[in-house]
């Protein structure tokens, strides 16, 4: 099952005098993913063999996998927009797994000369949305919970004994992702260090509400049921990362495999279309007039 939902973040800069490099923000996927995985290993960067074979791969192992799948970003989702004599740029980012130093020079040049940066969520906009936690063992039932333990490891499952369904799903999504590489965060930090003004297109609370709505208990059960083993998680992470870095992922929303598996789990075609509409198309429609005004 293709678990990784890539939400495009926008970086917009008006070219002017050169300025120090850019920054980034913490997107939907990465905020919860770090929470989900952070307590899974005492020494996350240790690359030595794990004492417990069920533990997730170490951060060092994940970085190695990411570097193999994506040594450099050769086909960035990077666009130049010209209006009224002013030049802006839009960069589609993958929130986790890609470091800024893998981007080609034109991206770095645009960041360095930007006078304004626009992100999905403005830096510093943190959601105070109350968490609606569940007890995973009770919510999933014995069979699915045992399967979930095998997928994420006993220590991670223990750490997530009481959590939200969205975090539980994200723990699976990022099992083989390099959590040290957060492109949006790096870009945001660059802009903040250079004192470049930043804005957001939507609120952090809006994103959290949307994530909780889509990645609910029903989605968690479907993800656990249709994920055969960890090898599948690793294969999908590698495939998604390689496609992003090559610039060949040209289909917005769910891929055909994920759509088929969700249909097999009881979702209707109308429900899947609504998920794509809410996660991708409606948000882009909302952003466009905001960007035009900027």
The chain-wide mean pLDDT, for the chain, equals: 85
Give the model's pLDDT for residue 38: 47
Which residue from 203, 211, 183 is spatially nearest to 25, judged by alpha carbons?
A: 183
Give the model's pLDDT for residue 250: 87
Pinpoint the alpha helices (H) of 43-104.
Answer: 59-69
* Residue that wins the pLDDT comparison between 82 and 30: 82
Q: Dump pLDDT digits (tens) for 36-70.
A: 454 444 444 444 555 577 788 999 999 999 999 99
Residue 24 confidence (pLDDT) above 70 = no
* Residue that wins the pLDDT comparison between 153 and 45: 153
Give the model's pLDDT for residue 235: 95
Residue by residue, DSSP assigns 219-252 as HHHHHHHH---HHHHHHHHHHHHHHHHHT-----
Give the model's pLDDT for residue 54: 78
The three-class DSSP label of residue 200 is strand
Interval 62-88 mean pLDDT? 95
Q: How far is CA 171 from CA 133, 231, 252, in A?
A: 15, 15, 23
pTM reported for the whole predicted model: 0.82
Residue 8 confidence (pLDDT) above 70 = no
Confidence grade of residue 214 (pLDDT, cut at 50, 70, 90): very high
Q: Dump pLDDT digits (tens) for 109-141.
A: 999 999 999 999 999 999 888 889 999 999 999
Tell me the pairing of strands 198-200 and 86-92.
unpaired
Which residue from 288, 284, 171 is spatially nearest to 223, judged by alpha carbons?
A: 171
Chain center to CA of 19: 28
**25-34, 69-78, 99-108, range with the lowest pLDDT:** 25-34
* Residue that wins the pLDDT comparison between 170 and 53: 170
Residue 154 confidence (pLDDT) above 50 = yes
Give the model's pLDDT for residue 19: 32
What is the percentage of the chain residues whose pLDDT exceeds 70? 83
Give the model's pLDDT for residue 49: 52
Chain center to CA of 9: 10
**19-28, 47-56, 79-88, 198-207, range with the lowest pLDDT:** 19-28
Give the model's pLDDT for residue 73: 97
> What is the phi-psi region of residue 36: left when phi exceeds 0, alpha when psi lies from -120 to 50, beta otherwise?
alpha
Q: What's the CA angle centered on 284, arms 249 and 183, to 5 degrees? A: 55
């Amino acid at each position: 099952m293709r678990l990784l939902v890539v939400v495009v973040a926008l970086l917009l800069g008006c070219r002017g005098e050169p300025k120090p490099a850019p920054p980034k923000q913490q997107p939907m996927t990465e905020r919860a993913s770090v929470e989900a995985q952070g307590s899974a290993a005492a020494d996350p960067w240790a690359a030595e063999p794990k004492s417990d074979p069920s533990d997730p791969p170490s951060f060092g192992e994940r970085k190695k996998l990411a570097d193999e799948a994506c040594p450099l970003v050769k086909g960035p989702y990077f666009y130049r927009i010209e209006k009224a004599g002013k030049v802006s740029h839009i960069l589609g980012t993958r929130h986790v797994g890609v470091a800024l130093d893998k981007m080609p020079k034109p991206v770095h040049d645009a960041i360095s000369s930007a006078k304004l940066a626009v992100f999905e969520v403005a830096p510093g906009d943190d959601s105070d949305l109350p968490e609606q936690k569940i007890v995973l063992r009770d919510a999933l039932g014995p069979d699915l919970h045992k399967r979930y333990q095998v997928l994420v490891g006993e220590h991670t499952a223990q750490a997530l004994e009481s959590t939200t369904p969205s975090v539980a799903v994200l723990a699976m999504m990022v099992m083989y992702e390099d959590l040290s590489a957060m492109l949006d965060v790096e870009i945001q930090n660059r802009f903040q260090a250079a004192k470049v003004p930043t804005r957001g297109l939507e609120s952090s609370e809006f994103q959290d509400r949307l994530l909780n709505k889509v990645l609910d208990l029903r989605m968690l059960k479907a993800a656990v049921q249709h994920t055969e083993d960890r090898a599948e998680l690793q294969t999908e992470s590698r495939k998604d990362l390689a496609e992003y870095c090559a610039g060949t992922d040209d289909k917005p929303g769910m891929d055909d495999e994920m759509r088929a598996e969700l249909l097999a789990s009881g979702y209707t075609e109308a429900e899947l279309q609504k998920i794509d509409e809410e996660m991708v198309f409606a948000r882009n429609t909302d952003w466009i007039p905001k960007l035009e005004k900027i």
